[in-house]
Amino acid sequence: MSKTSIKTGGLAGVTAGETAISTVGKEGVGLTYRGYAIEELAARASFEDVLYLLLEGRLPSHKERTDYERRLAEAAPLPASLASVLERIPASTHPMDVLRTGLSMLGCLEPEKDFSQLNACAIRSVALAPAILLYWFRFCRDGKRLDTTKGAGRVARHFLTLLHDRAPTSEHERALDVSLILYAEHEFNASTFAARVCAGTLSDYHSCITAAVGTLRGPLHGGANEAAMELIERFATPEEAARGVRSALDRKEKIMGFGHRVYRDHDPRHAVIKEWSRRLAAEVGDRRLFPVSEAIEQVMWEEKRLFPNLDFYSATAYHFLGIPTPLFTPIFVCSRLSGWSAHVSEQRANNRLIRPDAAYVGPDPRPFPEETER
C-alpha cells in the first residue's frame, strides 16, 4: 500500500456541510446572520434580538423580544446544587473550565429529555452562563454568594451587574451588548463544528455545548483577546509599542488579534468594536491603551499587511468596562451559546453522522513479529 500525501490544511477550503444560519467572508458579503449584515445588527438590534433570530429564524416583534427577556430573567436563578459544585472549584481554575463544568453539570440537573426542548435548554444556558461564571468568580475573589437574578433579562446588563454589584450605565451595557452580537455566530468555526459533530451522533444538547466550550478553550481558537490585552499592557507609549512589536516580529513571535482564517482583507466586525473601544477610552480618560493599540495596528499593517480581527479591540473595550482579563474568553461563550444552539438545531433537522475519511500515511501492511524479534 502506498502512502498518500495530502495537505489538508485543517480542512481549510473544504465545504463540510450546508447552513442557513450565517455567511462568513463569502464573495461580496462580509458577515451575515440569517441574511442580516453584522454592521446593521450591531447598530440596530439587541443581543436578545439576535438570540431570537438565531434560534427562531427571524427577528422578533417587540412582544416576542419582551417575552424572551422575561424567559431569560426567569431562567437566571442558579440551582443550589450547581452553586455547591461551583464553590468547590479551586480559585486557580481557568474560567473556561468553570463554564465547561458548570454547563455540563446543568445537563445532569436539567437534562434535555427530548429534542423539542432545545430552545428551552438554550435560553436556560444563555441565562445561566454569566451566573455560573460570576458566582464562582465572586465567591473565590470576595467570598460572596451572589444573587444571580440581579440584572437578569438582558445578558449584557446581567453580566455587568453581577460583576460589579451595580447596574451598568446605558453606555456600558450597550457596549457589551454590541460585543455579544459580534461574537454570537461565525459559521463552521472549530467550536461550532465540534458542536455539530456531537449533535450528529444524536447526543443531548448539553453534551454538544460542552464539546464546543472545550474546543473554544484551546488557544488557537479562543483567548486571542486575552493575549492582545497582555501585549497592549506591556507598553507605556505608542512609540514604545511600535518598537516592541517590530522587535517581536523580527523574533518571529506571533502577535495575537490579527489576520483571520477566512477573511482576506478585513474583519467586518473590527470597525464596530474599535469605535466602541474609542468611545469607552474617552469616557474613562484613557490616554495610553487605545493609542498603544492603534500603534500596534499600524505596525502590523505596515510590516505584515495583517488587519485587526474582532479580538484585538475587544480587549481594550472589555478592559475599559472593568472586566478582568481572564474573563474575556468566557464572554465569548456567553455570546456564542446562541450560535452553537442554532447549529445543533440545524444539524438535528437534517442529520447525517459527520464521519470524514482520513488520508493514511502510516506503515504499509507488515507481518506481526514474534516476541523475540521485537
Q: 31 with 22: CB under 8 angstroms? A: yes
Residue 49 C-beta-side C-alpha neighbours within 13 Å: 18
Catalytic one among 97, 147, 164, 221?
Answer: 221
Residue 327 vs residues 94, 134, 165, 168, 290: alpha-carbon distances, Å: 9, 9, 16, 17, 20
CB-CB neighbours of 27 under 10 Å? 4
260 tagged catalytic: yes
DSSP state, 169? P
Q: Which long-range contacts (CB under 8 A, 24 or more apart) does 262-267 make?
A: 262/24, 262/25, 262/187, 263/24, 263/25, 263/30, 263/307, 263/309, 264/25, 265/307, 266/307, 267/307, 267/308, 267/309, 267/310
Alpha-carbon distance of 32 to 53, in angstroms, equals 12
Q: Is 250 a catalytic residue?
A: no
Among the options 260, 270, 319, 343, which is catalytic?
A: 260
Sign of torsion, CA 20 22 26 30?
positive
Cell triple for 149: 437574578
Catalytic residue among 49, 177, 286, 311: 311
| Cα–Cα distance measured from residue 173 to residue 150, given in angstroms and rounded to the nearest whole number | 14
Q: What torsion, rounded to 10 degrees, do the Cα atoms 297, 302, 303, 308 define?
A: 30
C-alpha angle 29/341/261, rounded to 5°?
Answer: 40
Asked about 221 being catalytic, the answer comes back as yes
Catalytic residues: 221, 260, 311
